[in-house]
Chain A
């Protein structure tokens, strides 16, 4: 007995607008319309970020600065995880080393932020890379474990040995002249880092890194030392984090063990997963969404960690592609329902 099914089977039909595909490497733009179509999201993002300070109150301007730091970390995490295959659970280590270095330089030597930030960025990245170097030779989860342990262990050591100001931290550091410098410094950093990384991953080095993630045996057989490339990648990610840290120390005029706090390790990861791993833009957007959210929850103590962990798990299990990938698909393809 066959019963008539009244429900009409429907499926989603997707049609590519054909812009993305043609632009991949060939740049065959045929009309101003297509050009416009490609430029709009980029311009929106850049101007959105650059103009946002004008629409925010003092308090949220501060949050914006925080979000910028998280965005840098998220960028670094995404770059390492998706393009090199290294899961870094210790973004806080980058922040911490950048922050302590610039703090020490400022407090002990009296150097101005204008000098301490670049120096701390580079020196902090060198230190972080050196510390992580031994586990770069190993495959699998070693990197995740070690990068998870180091920030926490560093806190234990700072407390136990009572160095660098112990639990008190280093206070009375120089701050930036005004809130506009605060904001544009970090926003500029984020935008430069974003577009530089996007460029980097399509260059040869990005290609080699992705090949290492995909098939490291073939890369070794091609006469390339994978450790040296991984080292470079970690250094790049560390640069972003250490810049964030150095900036942070002068933002609040204070350095302390809370700069090694888990927030700096976990929020960027949540932002990346939420924004869409591998898109680089996604993590930045994720950070600018999650940071205000977590700030709104600050009154509830540990609530914010719980919330962004829940968001993280929700996305990773149910929507692993993340926001940005969905948006990109919607943007580049027409979708409509079709009856079958």
Chain B
């Protein structure tokens, strides 16, 4: 594990009008690693995700996945290569049962390829994926209409949508935010399990305590720039980081 670079970001920059949302960011993620990304609100974390996954085109800079340049590819091509992401603002397909929400990724060319063109019982596959991620089948949760599910399940559903694609890299944009402690504590083992299975994960998070339990490394962003990077304890010792967080979320840690 850890041999070589899996996902590499080189000097990526994006400005919206006058706002420098992301400024000359460079970093790498190794295979099987969990990288945490933290930073105050508006520091450009979501924009960074958008840049990696092709939803926003960078002004300059490049992203490589397995040494292949992926900048400039459309989002669905990047997802097709195995780099998927969750959305901070979830919009599941409300009027359908939860498992039907996974029909879309299960119809993707990526899944078609891995199954040699035969898709088989998609509903069954969808329910299996959901069960694995904590939708209790015995309580018929996977069959519930999406709009009737509580937030915790919706966040899982969002993650399940990514996992249905059998990805190699998952980028989670604040999947813990808005959840209660107990809800988070049931999700943490899920992420750990994913890592055990060899998934490479990038986690954007505001909940530092929970994040630090999971990650191998964290990166701190402020005003679109990288402030610090390293193991969690070291990073939080950093004076600049403390300053950036002071007043906003100093209470944490």
Contacts and interface: CB of A to CB of B under 8 A. Distances in A.
Q: Are A and B in contact, CB atoms below 8 Å, in the complex?
A: yes
Interface of A: 204-205, 207-208, 210-211, 214-215, 217-226
Q: What 9 pairs across the A-B complex have the smallest Cβ distances?
A: A223-B79, A222-B105, A223-B108, A220-B75, A215-B91, A223-B80, A220-B76, A223-B110, A225-B76
A217 B87 contact: yes
A218 B161 contact: yes
A54 B75 CA distance: 56
Given A221-B84, A224-B108, A211 B93 contact: yes
Given A207-B96, A208-B103, A219-B104, A224 B91 contact: no
A222 B93 contact: no
Interface centre among A208, A219, A223 (most CB of B within 10 A): A223
Contact of A207 (B80, B91, B103, B110): B103
Contacts, number: 72
Contacts of B161: 218, 221-222
B44 to A, nearest CB: 18
A220 B74 contact: yes
A225 B84 contact: no
A307 to B, nearest CB: 35
Contacts of B100: 207
B178 interface: no
Interface string B139-179: 00000000000000000000001101100000000000000
Contacts of A226: 76
A111 to B, nearest CB: 37
B107 A208 contact: yes
15 contacts: A207-B103, A214-B91, A215-B93, A217-B55, A218-B161, A219-B76, A222-B79, A222-B84, A222-B104, A223-B79, A223-B110, A224-B76, A224-B107, A225-B77, A226-B76
Interface in B72-109: 74-77, 79-80, 84-85, 87, 91, 93, 96, 100, 103-105, 107-109
For the side of the interface on B, what is the size category? 20 to 34
Given A210-B93, A223-B84, A224-B109, A218 B76 contact: no
B122 interface: yes
Contacts of A221: 53, 55, 75-76, 79, 84-85, 87, 161-162
Contacts of A215: 91, 93
Contacts of A217: 55, 75, 87
B74 to A, nearest CB: 7
B113 to A, nearest CB: 10
B104 to A, nearest CB: 5
Contacts of B165: 222-223
A221 to B, nearest CB: 5
A223 B91 contact: no
Most buried by B among A214, A218, A219, A220: A218
Contacts of A220: 55, 74-76, 79
Contacts of B75: 217, 220-221
A204 B93 contact: no
B107 A218 contact: no
Contact of A211 (B74, B104, B110): B104
B65 to A, nearest CB: 14
A217 B53 CA distance: 11
Contacts of B55: 217, 220-221
Nearest to B86: A221
Interface in B107-131: 107-111, 122
Nearest to A210: B93
A158 to B, nearest CB: 37
A28 to B, nearest CB: 14
Given A204-B107, A208-B107, A210-B93, A218 B79 contact: no
A219 B103 CA distance: 10
A224 B80 CA distance: 8
A219 B105 CA distance: 7
B76 A204 contact: no
B50 to A, nearest CB: 10
